[in-house]
Amino acid sequence: MSPILIICCGNADRGDDGAGPLVARHLEALGIAARVGRGEAFTLMESWRGADDVVIVDAVYTGARPGTIRLWDARTAPLVPQWFRCSTHCLGVAEAVGMARHLDRLPRRLRIYGIEARRFETGAKPSAAVVKAAAKVSERLAREVALCTCVP
């Protein structure tokens, strides 16, 4: 079991919104567990309850080039809710962080990997840029998990 809880958000059947599930599949192939969900605020807050170190992966739309990878320290960085509006959830990642911050329910460490997305059509496959970015995020997370689980 990894000391890092990885939560991958998105819908694999909506084009680039499948970025999170893609990362989860890559990690699973490497023997690393990741939870997959749609990214609803209350479900996220419940998912990380009791965890000290959490990473969330989700598709974002900030206006950057598709496939751009962003990393936020969610304990300190302001999150703009509109960046996370590419999914079907009304109250998503940014709202979960905001509510948890207000209720003092944030994990000790909470990071968010955002993969810049553009295409969200039902039934569409993720773009090549998002597929490539998902592989990069998976590699980063696999290295981090390996470093956290090494015994000196």
Beta strands in the chain (DSSP E): 5-9, 35-37, 53-60, 69-73, 109-116
Question: Rounded to whole angstroms, what are the CA distances from 41 to 70, 97, 99?
Answer: 20, 8, 8
Range 23-37 burial, b when 16+ CB lie within 10 A, else e: bbbbbeeeebebbbb
Amino acid at 50: G
Closest-CA residue to 39 (of 64, 61, 17, 16): 17
The predicted-structure confidence for 85-120, as pLDDT tens digits, reads as follows: 555 556 778 888 888 988 999 999 999 999 999 999
Provide the pLDDT for residue 99.
Answer: 87
Ranges in the chain, pLDDT < 70:
1-2, 80-90, 149-152
Domains, the chain, with CATH or none: 5-149 (3.40.50.1450)
CA distance 44 to 53: 14
